């Protein structure tokens, strides 16, 4: 049980660091600067806590009971991602006039891919 939790957290942190720190760094840096009129200044403890929260949700709802991989749970991982990432992105889109539809789509696609992949990999442990 604990091995799955540790793996889930580690894989989520690695995935988020790669996506935010390398793949989309310029995109989000530009978007945030346009929205808040100042340079993006990442608060690492909060970013890590957010990633750990998503990982914990993945583990708590889909992985903690040690069940093997299933299509139903794989779909559950995608739904969890839509709820977690969608809540953030759609809220930003609702309250920030300059928030982009591209960010909503990109982050939702990333979230679904990441949470689903982490579930699929971690369920094999």
In the structure, what pLDDT confidence band is assigned to residue 106 with cuts at 50, 70 and 90? very high
pLDDT tier at 81 (50, 70, 90 boundaries)?
A: very high
Rounded to an integer, the average pLDDT of 45-66 is 97
3-52 pLDDT, tens per residue?
Answer: 999 999 999 999 999 998 899 989 999 999 999 999 989 899 999 999 99
Q: Are 118 and 15 in contact (CB under 8 A)?
A: yes
pLDDT on residue 15:
97
d(CA 2, CA 75): 23
> What is the token pair recorded at 29?
């840096």
SS3 label, residue 24: coil
- Burial of residue 122, with CB atoms counted within 10 A of its CB: 0-12 exposed, 13-18 middle, 19 or more buried: buried
- Give the span between the Cα atoms of 71 and 98, in whole angstroms: 38
Q: Is a pLDDT exceeding 90 seen at residue 1?
A: no
| Average pLDDT, rounded, for the chain | 96
């Amino acid at each position: 049980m604990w091995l799955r939790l540790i793996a889930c957290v580690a894989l989520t942190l690695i995935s988020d660091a790669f996506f935010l720190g390398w793949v989309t760094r310029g995109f989000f840096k530009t978007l945030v600067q346009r929205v808040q009129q100042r340079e993006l200044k990442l608060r690492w403890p909060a970013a890590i806590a957010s990633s750990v929260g998503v990982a914990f949700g993945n583990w708590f709802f889909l992985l903690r009971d040690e069940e093997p991989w299933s299509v139903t749970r794989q779909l559950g991982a995608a739904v969890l991602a839509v709820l977690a990432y969608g809540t953030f992105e759609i809220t930003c889109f609702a309250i920030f006039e300059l928030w982009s539809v591209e960010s909503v789509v990109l982050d939702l696609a990333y979230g679904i891919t990441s949470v689903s992949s982490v579930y699929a990999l971690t369920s094999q442990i």
